[in-house]
C-alpha cells in the first residue's frame, strides 16, 4: 500500500501549554472537562525511551492512547490510518514532538502508531489510555497488534 501524507480522522493533536515560573514549569496533560466520556483514562504510565530507539509501530483494536510528549528530548512520531472504513484510510501523519514542542496526541483504535527518540538523551512519554493494559486485574488478552518485527510490514519508521 502507498501511504499519502495528511491529517487522520479521529486523531487529536493539542499543543500543551507550559506555565513557567522561577521553580520550573507545569503543564496540564488532560482535563475531564476537555475529553469525551469514552476517552477518560483508565490508567496512566510513563515510559522512558533510550536515545535513537524506536517503539512500535503497533495498533489497538479497542484502546485509545492519549500520549503526552513533554521532554526531555524529542520524538518523531508517525501514524497510519489502517481503518478500512475511515474517510482518511491510507493517510500517514508525521510530526516532531517533545521538549521544544510539548504535545498531546490522541490515537484512536485502528490507527497504527510508532515513534523514535531522535534525541541524544533518554526521552519521556506519558500515556493515559482509556483501557486497562491486559484488562481488569490483567485477566484479558493484550489489545495490541505489533508490526515492528516484520520487515515486510507497510508500517516503517525508517522511511
CATH 3.10.580.10 fits 4-18+40-146, yes or no: no
Percent of the chain with pLDDT over 70: 99
Q: For the full predicted model, state whether its pTM sits above 0.85.
A: yes
d(CA 57, CA 26): 30
Backbone φ and ψ for 137, nearest 5 degrees, come out as: 55, 30
Cell of 44: 496512566
**Residue 2's pLDDT band (cuts 50, 70, 90):** confident
What would the mean pLDDT of 112-124 be, rounded to a whole number? Answer: 97
pLDDT tens string 48-68:
999 999 999 999 999 999 999
The pLDDT of residue 159 is above 80: no
Residue with cell 500500500: 1
- Best CA proximity match to 34, nearest among 140, 154, 128, 102: 128
Helix (H, G, I), strand (E, B) or coil at 46: strand
Q: Which residues of 20-34 are buried (b: 16+ CB within 10 A; e: fewer)?
A: eeeeeeeeebbeeee
Taking the CB of residue 7, how many other CB atoms lie within 10 A of it?
12
What is the pLDDT confidence band of residue 155, given thresholds at 50, 70 and 90?
Answer: very high
pLDDT at 91 over 90: yes
Domain residues of the chain, as ranges? 4-18+40-146
Give percent of the chain above pLDDT 90: 83
Amino acid at each position: 500500500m502507498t501511504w499519502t501524507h495528511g491529517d487522520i480522522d479521529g486523531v487529536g493533536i493539542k499543543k500543551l501549554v507550559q506555565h513557567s515560573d522561577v521553580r520550573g514549569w507545569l503543564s496540564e496533560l488532560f482535563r475531564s472537562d476537555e475529553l469525551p466520556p469514552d476517552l477518560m483514562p483508565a490508567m496512566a504510565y510513563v515510559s522512558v525511551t533510550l536515545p535513537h530507539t524506536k517503539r512500535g509501530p503497533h495498533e489497538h483494536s479497542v484502546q485509545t492512547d492519549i500520549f503526552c510528549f513533554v521532554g526531555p528530548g524529542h520524538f518523531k512520531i508517525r501514524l497510519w490510518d489502517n481503518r478500512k472504513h475511515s474517510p482518511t484510510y491510507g493517510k500517514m501523519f508525521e510530526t516532531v514532538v517533545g521538549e521544544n514542542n510539548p504535545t498531546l496526541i490522541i490515537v484512536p483504535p485502528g490507527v497504527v502508531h510508532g515513534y523514535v527518540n531522535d534525541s541524544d538523551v533518554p526521552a519521556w512519554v506519558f500515556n493515559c489510555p482509556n483501557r486497562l493494559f491486559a484488562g481488569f486485574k490483567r485477566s484479558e488478552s493484550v489489545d495490541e497488534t505489533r508490526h515492528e518485527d516484520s520487515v515486510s510490514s507497510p508500517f516503517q519508521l525508517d522511511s
